[in-house]
Amino acid sequence: MEQTFAICRVAVAPLRASSSDKAEISTQLLFGDRVEVIEKAEPWWFVHSAYDGYEGWIDFKQLAEITSEEYHQPATALVPAAVSNQLICADGSKYYLAASSSLPAYADGYCGFGKEKFQVMFQAHEILTTPSASVLTELALFFQNAPYLWGGRTVFGIDCSGYVQAVFKLAGIKIYRDASQQAEQGKIVNFLPEAQAGDLAFFDNKDGKIIHVGMMLNANQIIHASGKVRIDSIDDQGIYNPELGRYSHQLRIIKRFM
């Protein structure tokens, strides 16, 4: 198959485990996410994400083909941590975008791809080069109370690893999509009392598999997506959920990314 590149042309699109509308949603593509098309079985395309290497099936109508040059040109601006992020199309219709979405070819209040051009009706979020713990904390708190959704990446539904990936993306730190992959990145923090705001804590199951991740706010508190994005206490045993009256997650390792 001739090499094909594409970009997500809608606000949020499901990336599925197989080529069916009934298939599990592995993750979501957000507006501006670039992909390489690996296989076509219309209406489904199997794609590889340029940002984190994630792969899955998507309805091709939610993508627009782009050139190799557009594919290899990373976004320099993102959609900020806000809920009123609006684009205006050439025909006057509107898009409402999720925080951490990319703004392709952003310049002078416009973004676009191919022949499509959109007026950006908000202050674009420039990708940071020197993130700080305070910035990470502010971004993390934006998502507080967002409902948990397997495969989700937006404030209207997000999972644990999608949550920290979105926060870190806005802060200019690139991490993988799944908790088990993220646990392979960063530098080890040897002891919980040494944990700082912005560190990621990872949790395993009885088989030793990493199944959960959250972001430390300090050495005693963590913000994570479990039912919703919430703040809980953490100690050497793991996360304590006062609503359940027990520990909900068993601590495995803490990593630092700054």
Say whether both 116 and 173 belong to one domain.
no
Say whether both 43 and 150 belong to one domain.
no
Say whether both 116 and 182 belong to one domain.
no
pLDDT tens-place values along the chain, 258 residues long? 689 999 999 999 999 999 999 999 999 999 999 999 999 998 999 999 999 999 999 999 999 999 999 999 988 899 999 999 999 999 999 999 999 999 999 999 999 999 999 999 999 998 878 889 999 999 999 999 999 999 999 999 999 999 999 999 999 999 999 999 999 999 999 999 999 999 999 999 999 999 999 999 999 999 999 999 999 999 999 999 999 999 999 999 999 999
Say whether both 49 and 81 belong to one domain.
no
Say whether both 108 and 172 belong to one domain.
no
Say whether both 177 and 211 belong to one domain.
yes
Question: pTM for this one?
Answer: 0.96
Q: How many independent structural domains does the chain possess?
A: 3
Say whether both 17 and 91 belong to one domain.
no
Say whether both 225 and 248 belong to one domain.
yes
Domain of 96? Answer: 77-126
Say whether both 158 and 247 belong to one domain.
yes
Say whether both 248 and 155 belong to one domain.
yes
Q: Which residues contact 92 (CB under 8 A, 6 or more apart)?
A: none
Say whether both 111 and 9 belong to one domain.
no
